[in-house]
């Protein structure tokens, strides 16, 4: 199956929109006094391999991950492989993994009006609640695109919204447009290790990694099973505390 082509808005308006978004509706992280650096392993869209391989590996290291779910994708199939079914999403939650929001239909929030975003968020929560999954507290922007109106809605609805630009979460980082590192493609492992080393060298840092599928032959937006296992092992060997995204937010907002 061919992979759909997504193109970020490169227009002048798009550039100004993203720049303006960084300046407003900010929620400041506070991460002073960590005993160990934090790391989160997260999965966007949640194809089934994120469960069969991703969760399996995390659990082997006594860790749990965060799954950003668009319930409108459940049970379908794409270039990422088959998506999780409702029963599988519920099983992940029962096993201690965090289920988080990714809009209902995988909206590009940078190009969508506030009312549409709010409706999509509510529908996603309702679908997850019908599965018995409640208490959803975090979000990831599909495609990583953002706008002032999107941040306005998300800042009122979720404790944090994760984006895709590179960086560590440290004191002062905006939790409504939080950075994350993709461990995707041929260089995904090297990129992940580079940022693990950067987090180790930075006092009171939280590193968020993300991928989609975890397979022997992954999509452009996925990683291999060996890559994922090596990165989880590297985090353990470097004495990181592996936390879900929601737990990281609790630490960064003083509500742990």
- Give tens-digit pLDDT for 79-125: 999 999 999 999 999 999 999 999 999 999 999 999 999 999 999 99
Establish if 7 belongs to a structural domain. Answer: no
pLDDT tier at 7 (50, 70, 90 boundaries)?
Answer: low
DSSP class of residue 28 equals B
Note the pLDDT tens digit of each residue in 21-69.
888 999 999 999 999 999 999 999 999 999 999 999 999 999 999 999 9
- Predicted local confidence at residue 8, as pLDDT: 61
Establish if 6 belongs to a structural domain. Answer: no
Asked whether the predicted pLDDT for residue 6 surpasses 70, the reply is no
CA atoms within 13 A on the CB side of 139: 32
Closest CA to 133 of 141, 125, 121: 125
Is the pTM higher than 0.85? The answer reads yes
- Predicted local confidence at residue 22, as pLDDT: 87
Establish if 8 belongs to a structural domain. Answer: no
Establish if 4 belongs to a structural domain. Answer: no
What value does the CA radius of gyration of the chain take, rounded to a whole number of Å?
17
Establish if 111 belongs to a structural domain. Answer: yes
Note the pLDDT tens digit of each residue in 169-224.
999 999 999 999 999 999 999 999 999 999 999 989 999 999 999 999 999 999 99
| Residue-number span of the structural domain to which 31 is assigned | 13-252
Instruction: Give me the sign of the Cα torsion angle 11, 13, 16, 21.
Output: negative
DSSP class of residue 155 equals H
Establish if 2 belongs to a structural domain. Answer: no
Task: Name, in order, each residue with C-beta under 8 angstroms of 111's C-beta and a sequence gap of 6 or more.
Answer: 9, 145, 147
Evaluate whether 38 touches 244 at the Cβ level (below 8 Å): no
Establish if 168 belongs to a structural domain. Answer: yes
- For the chain, the domain total comes to 1
The CATH code of the domain that includes 139 is: 3.20.20.370
Report the C-alpha gap between 58 and 36 in whole angstroms.
19
Establish if 53 belongs to a structural domain. Answer: yes
């Amino acid at each position: 199956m061919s992979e759909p082509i997504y193109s970020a808005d490169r227009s002048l308006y798009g550039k100004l929109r993203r720049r303006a978004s960084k300046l407003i509706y900010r929620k400041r992280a506070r991460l002073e006094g960590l005993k160990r650096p934090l790391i989160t392993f997260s999965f966007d869209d949640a194809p089934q391999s994120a469960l069969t391989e991703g969760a399996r590996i995390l659990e082997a290291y006594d860790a749990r991950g965060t799954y950003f779910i668009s319930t409108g994708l459940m049970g379908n199939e794409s270039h990422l492989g088959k998506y999780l079914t409702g029963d599988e999403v519920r099983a992940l939650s029962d096993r201690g993994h965090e289920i988080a929001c990714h809009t209902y239909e995988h909206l590009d929030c940078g190009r969508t009006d506030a009312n549409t975003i709010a409706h999509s968020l509510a529908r996603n929560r309702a679908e997850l609640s019908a599965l018995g999954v409640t208490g959803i507290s975090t979000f990831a922007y599909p495609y990583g695109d953002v706008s002032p109106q999107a941040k306005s809605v998300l800042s009122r609805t979720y404790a944090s919204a994760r984006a895709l630009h590179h960086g560590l979460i440290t004191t002062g980082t905006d939790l409504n447009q939080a950075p994350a590192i993709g461990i995707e493609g041929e260089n995904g492992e090297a990129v992940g290790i580079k940022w693990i080393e950067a987090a180790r060298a930075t006092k009171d840092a939280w590193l968020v990694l993300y991928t989609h599928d975890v397979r022997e032959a992954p999509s452009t937006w996925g990683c291999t099973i060996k890559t994922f296992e090596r990165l989880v092992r590297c985090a353990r060997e470097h004495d990181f505390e592996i936390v879900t995204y929601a737990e990281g937010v609790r630490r960064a907002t003083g509500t742990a």
